[in-house]
């Protein structure tokens, strides 16, 4: 089974490198790259959290709540905390690079551009690893 795992990871698995900064998050996998603002837009008039847009898109047409993931403010918006919003954000980035029909979940490597300890209170390692795993990462590495 070990050789089969090696073949699957070699030919079907991909590695996504994520560089985190307060202003932009850069996803890179092979030749493909994606740069997004760390922002999630939720519908304001919905009782349940409903995502309208993620990242760089223009402001949605309907009323919205904006969650800035790395600003250090508002922890809970419409029952959705920033950890769950970060999971949605990472999942969006994974699917944009790897596609929805990827055979193997990606290996994710985080590179912290700016220190994010004032935002996560020193728990950035745990928060990022858990959010990436919940978003669909096979393995998570922090540098």
- Going residue by residue through the chain (143 aa), what tens digit of pLDDT does each one get? 577 666 655 555 578 999 988 889 999 988 889 999 999 888 878 777 788 888 877 667 888 888 888 887 766 777 778 888 899 999 999 888 876 656 678 889 998 877 777 777 778 888 899 999 999 888 999 88
Instruction: Name 112's bridge partners.
Output: 20
Q: Enumerate domains of the chain plus CATH numbers.
A: 13-142 (3.30.420.40)
- Output DSSP code: residue 87: H
Please answer whether residues 41 and 135 qualify as being in contact, where contact means their C-beta atoms are separated by less than 8 angstroms.
Answer: no
Query: Position of tokens 């669909």?
Result: 136
Residue 56 tokens, joined: 């760089």
Dihedral sign from CA coordinates of 17, 97, 53, 47: negative
59's tokens: 């402001």
């Amino acid at each position: 089974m070990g050789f089969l795992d090696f073949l699957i990871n070699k030919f079907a698995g991909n590695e996504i490198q994520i560089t985190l900064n307060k202003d932009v998050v850069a996803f890179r996998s092979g030749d493909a790259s994606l740069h997004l603002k760390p922002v999630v837009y939720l519908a304001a008039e919905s009782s349940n959290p409903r995502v309208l847009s993620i990242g760089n898109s223009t402001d949605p047409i309907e009323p919205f709540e904006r969650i800035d993931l790395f600003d250090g403010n508002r922890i809970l918006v419409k029952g959705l905390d920033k950890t769950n919003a970060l999971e949605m954000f990472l999942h969006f980035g994974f699917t944009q690079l790897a596609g929805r029909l990827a055979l193997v979940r990606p290996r994710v490597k985080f590179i912290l551009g700016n220190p994010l300890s004032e935002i996560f209170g020193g728990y950035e390692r745990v928060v990022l690893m858990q959010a990436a795993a919940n978003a669909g990462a096979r393995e998570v590495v922090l540098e």
